[in-house]
Amino acid sequence: MEFFVYMLVLNACMVPYLVQGDGNIDSAPGLTFHPEPPKQDTYENNLIWYKAHDEKNVKFWTNRLDNFLEVYKNSSLLPGAGKNKMTCDDHNPPSAGKVCDVNIDRWSPCTHEYGYAYHHRSPCIFLKLNNVLGWRPEIYNGSLPESMPRDLKHHISSYRNYKDKQLNTLWVSCQGESPVDEENIGPIMYIPRRGFPGYFFPFTDTEGYLSPLVAIHFERPMSGIIINVKCKLWAPNISHDQGQGTLNFELLVD
């Protein structure tokens, strides 16, 4: 029987990624969410609970986001002061030895200047990948999974009609975990697009690399009730049955 050893590694830019002990890759990336709730001694805390009319409390959460996003806003914090950074898009993947910029300046309302919309009871939560060295998402060329949310199916199909290069995306869905949560979660906007662009893959641990982000804007979540949120990554080479590419957290807006 063959055994593989997985190691969680931090590069010089503090980007977590997975490698296997024998160098083979057959894992998939995971997700983390930000702002992270304060850690508890006795249990894992996945609850983002804030009070929209309490300025001090709102500031607590937006400061956590500011700290998390600082390296995305300030190239001088990157190894080599971001010298390898370039602007990428679906038609212009990174050149050899270069990494793609993650420009969050125009992600309104999920920006520092807009307070990440926390004062408006419509918070932004940022999703970040835990990268796997050498892994890249496959593209849906045939039928889409039965378990995929209907709105995401429509979204992908709309790009297929035009053979758009944005089909090369590691797709994301976020929804309420139960029917009651789904009722309370309200509309969601994905910024800057509904997933992680394919030009960020494969991850090669090049100096100055920044993990891609997706901002999830909860536009009108129900107040005063805990909403259980489940987010998933979608690609043919991700198996949710094996626990790959899923993330759960809770949201409470008072």
pLDDT tens across 196-219, in order?
Answer: 999 999 998 888 899 999 999 999
Report whether pLDDT(85) > 70.
yes
Q: What is the pLDDT of residue 83?
A: 85
How sure is the predictor about 5, in pLDDT bands with cuts at 50, 70 and 90? very low
Averaged confidence pLDDT in the chain: 88
Among 128-132, 136-140, 159-163, the range scoring the smallest mean pLDDT is 159-163
Among 18-32, 115-129, 130-144, the range scoring the smallest mean pLDDT is 18-32
Q: How many helices (H) and strands (E) are present in the chain, helices listed first?
A: 3, 13
CA distances from 197 to 43, 103, 170, 189, 194 (A): 34, 13, 6, 16, 9
Give per-residue pLDDT as tens, 66-81.
Answer: 999 999 999 888 877 6
Cα of 194 vs its chain's centroid, Å:
10
Give per-residue pLDDT as tens, 168-201.
Answer: 999 999 999 999 999 999 999 999 999 999 999 9
Q: What percent of the chain has pLDDT over 70?
A: 87
End-to-end alpha-carbon separation of the chain, Å? 53
Report whether pLDDT(161) > 90.
no
Q: Rounded mean pLDDT of 143-150?
A: 96
How sure is the predictor about 11, in pLDDT bands with cuts at 50, 70 and 90? very low
Q: What is the pLDDT of residue 58?
A: 97
Q: What is the pLDDT of residue 219?
A: 98
Residues 6+ apart with CB under 8 A from 15: 131, 205, 209, 210, 211
Q: What is the dihedral of CA 30, 232, 136, 197, to 10 degrees?
A: -110
Q: How far apart are CA 229 and CA 241, in angstroms?
A: 18
How sure is the predictor about 10, in pLDDT bands with cuts at 50, 70 and 90? very low
209 or 43, which is more confident: 209
Report whether pLDDT(41) > 70.
no
Of 236, 209, 204, residue with least CA distance to 128? 209
CATH fold, domain 6-253, is Immunoglobulin-like (2.60.40)
Domain boundaries, the chain: 6-253
Q: 110 is written with which tokens?
A: 């999920």
